[in-house]
Amino acid sequence: MERNFGLDRVLEPKGSLPVTSWKLDNSRQLRPKEVRVNLKRIAFERENFMQLCSVCDYDEDLLKERIMKIVNERGKLHNPYTESSALFMGTIDEAGRDFDLGGLKPGDETVCLTPLAGQPVYIEKIDNVDIYYGQITCTGYAICFETAKLMPVPDLDDRKEVHFIRALEEEGSFYGISEELRQRDVRRVMIIGSNMAEAIFYSQMVRGSHPDVKVSFVIDSEYFSGITMHDLRTIFGSLVDNIYFVDLSEPVEAVKTIMEGEGEGYFDAVINLENIKGCESVASLMSRDNGLVCYTSLNSRYRHGLLIVDCLGKEVMNYSVDGYSKHAYDFALKLVNDAEEPLSRLDMFYSGKKKTPYKAIRDAFNKERTQTAARQIDGFIYKSKVTAEMIEEVLNVAQYDCNVIIQGETGVGKEKVCNLIHQNSPRRGKPCIKINCATIQESLAESEFFGYEKGSFTGAQASGKEGYFELANNGTLFLDEIGSLSLVMQSKLLRVLQENTYYRVGGVTPKHVNVRVVCANNIPLRKLVEEGKFREDLYYRLNICLINVMPLRMRKDDISCLADAFISNYSKKYGITKSFSKDAYKQLEEYHWPGNVRELENTVHRLYIAEKSQIIDGYSVDMLINQSVFESAVIDIKKEFGSEEFMDFNLIMDEQEKKLIEYALKKKKTTRKAADFLGLPQTTLARKKLKHNL
Q: What CA–CA distance (Å, rounded) separates 262 from 190?
A: 11
Q: Which amino acid is at 440?
A: I
Contacts (Cβ under 8 Å, ≥6 apart) of 87: 42, 43, 111, 112, 113, 115, 116, 165, 168, 169
Mean pLDDT over residues 51-73, rounded? 81
pLDDT of amino acid 471: 93
Range from 138-152, 257-271, 307-321, 365-379 that averages highest in pLDDT = 138-152
Q: What CA–CA distance (Å, rounded) separates 350 from 347?
A: 5
Tens digit of each residue's pLDDT (9 = 90 or more) over 72-122: 988 999 876 566 788 999 999 999 999 989 889 999 999 998 889 889 999
Q: Would strands 317-319 and 287-295 be described as parallel, antiparallel, or unpaired?
A: parallel
Cα Rg, the chain, nearest whole Å:
30
Question: How big is the chain, counted in residues?
Answer: 694
pLDDT of amino acid 70: 87
pLDDT of amino acid 208: 81
Torsion angle (degrees, nearest 10) of CA 643, 645, 651, 653? 80
Name which of 167, 114, 85, 159 is nearest 348 in CA terms: 159
Tens digit of each residue's pLDDT (9 = 90 or more) over 130-147: 888 889 999 999 999 988
Give the number of C-alpha atoms closer than 13 A to the C-alpha of residue 672, restricted to the C-beta side.
0
Which of 170-184, 256-270, 382-396, 579-593 has the least mean pLDDT?
A: 170-184
At 191, phi and psi to the nearest 5? Answer: -115, 125
- Say if CB 161 and CB 41 are below 8 A apart: yes
- Residue 354, pLDDT > 50, answer no
Q: What CA–CA distance (Å, rounded) separates 94 from 290?
A: 53
Sheet of strand 317-319: strand arrangement: 242-246, 214-220, 188-192, 267-272, 287-295, 317-319
DSSP 31: P
Q: Considering the chain, what percentage of its residues have pLDDT values greater than 90? A: 32
Based on the number of CB atoms within 10 Å of its own CB, is 692 exposed (0-12), middle (13-18) or buried (19 or more)?
middle
Contacts (Cβ under 8 Å, ≥6 apart) of 330: none
Task: Give the DSSP letter string of 265-326.
Answer: --EEEEEE---STTHHHHHHHHEEEEEEEEESSTTSSHHHHHHHHHHHT---EEE------T
- Residue 612, pLDDT > 60, answer yes
- Say if CB 220 and CB 194 are below 8 A apart: yes
Which residue intervals of the chain bear CATH 1.10.8.60? 553-625
Which residue intervals of the chain bear CATH 1.10.10? 632-691
Task: Give the DSSP letter string of 201-213.
Answer: HHHHHHHHH-TT-
Q: What CA–CA distance (Å, rounded) separates 249 from 560?
A: 12
Tens digit of each residue's pLDDT (9 = 90 or more) over 309-337: 666 667 777 776 655 566 778 888 888 89
pLDDT of amino acid 290: 85
User: Average per-residue pLDDT in the chain?
Assistant: 83
Q: What CATH topology corresponds to 632-691?
A: Arc Repressor Mutant, subunit A (1.10.10)
pLDDT of amino acid 222: 63
Q: Residue 425 — pLDDT band, cuts 50, 70, 90?
A: confident
What residue ranges in 472-560 does DSSP mark as E strands? 476-480, 501-502, 511-512, 516-521, 545-548
pLDDT of amino acid 625: 80
Q: Residue 370 — pLDDT band, cuts 50, 70, 90?
A: very low
| CATH code that applies to domain 7-153 | 3.90.180
pLDDT of amino acid 429: 77
Tens digit of each residue's pLDDT (9 = 90 or more) over 550-576: 999 999 889 998 998 899 889 989 989
Q: Residue 379 — pLDDT band, cuts 50, 70, 90?
A: low
pLDDT of amino acid 159: 86
Given this structure, which CATH class describes domain 172-351? alpha beta
DSSP 121: E
- Say if CB 142 and CB 120 are below 8 A apart: yes
Angle, CA 293 vertex, CA 288 and CA 299 arms, to 5°: 145
Contacts (Cβ under 8 Å, ≥6 apart) of 375: 82, 299
Q: Residue 248 — pLDDT band, cuts 50, 70, 90?
A: confident
Tens digit of each residue's pLDDT (9 = 90 or more) over 483-514: 999 999 999 999 999 888 999 988 888 899 99
Q: What CATH topology corresponds to 385-550?
A: Rossmann fold (3.40.50)
- pTM here is 0.55
Tens digit of each residue's pLDDT (9 = 90 or more) over 148-184: 889 999 888 888 888 888 888 766 577 778 878 888 8
pLDDT of amino acid 368: 45
Q: What CA–CA distance (Å, rounded) separates 68 from 596?
A: 37
Helix, strand, or coil (residue 448): helix
Q: Would strands 317-319 and 615-616 be described as parallel, antiparallel, or unpaired?
A: unpaired
pLDDT of amino acid 359: 45
Domain 553-625 CATH (choose: 1.10.3720.10, 2.30.42.10, 3.30.450.20, 1.10.8.60): 1.10.8.60
Helix, strand, or coil (residue 495): helix
Q: Considering the chain, what percentage of its residues have pLDDT values greater than 70? A: 86
Q: Residue 520 — pLDDT band, cuts 50, 70, 90?
A: very high
Q: Would strands 10-12 and 23-24 be described as parallel, antiparallel, or unpaired?
A: antiparallel
Tens digit of each residue's pLDDT (9 = 90 or more) over 3-29: 778 889 998 777 788 888 878 999 999
Helix, strand, or coil (residue 1): coil
pLDDT of amino acid 301: 54
Q: Residue 373 — pLDDT band, cuts 50, 70, 90?
A: very low
Mean pLDDT over residues 193-222, rounded? 86
pLDDT of amino acid 634: 54
Question: Around Cβ 509, how many Cβ atoms within 10 Å?
Answer: 7
Give the 3-state DSSP-derived string for 160-187, with helices as H, strands as E and coil as C.
Answer: HHHHHHHHHCCCHHHHHHHHHHHCCCCC
Q: Residue 599 — pLDDT band, cuts 50, 70, 90?
A: very high
Which residue intervals of the chain bear CATH 3.40.50.720? 172-351
DSSP 411: T
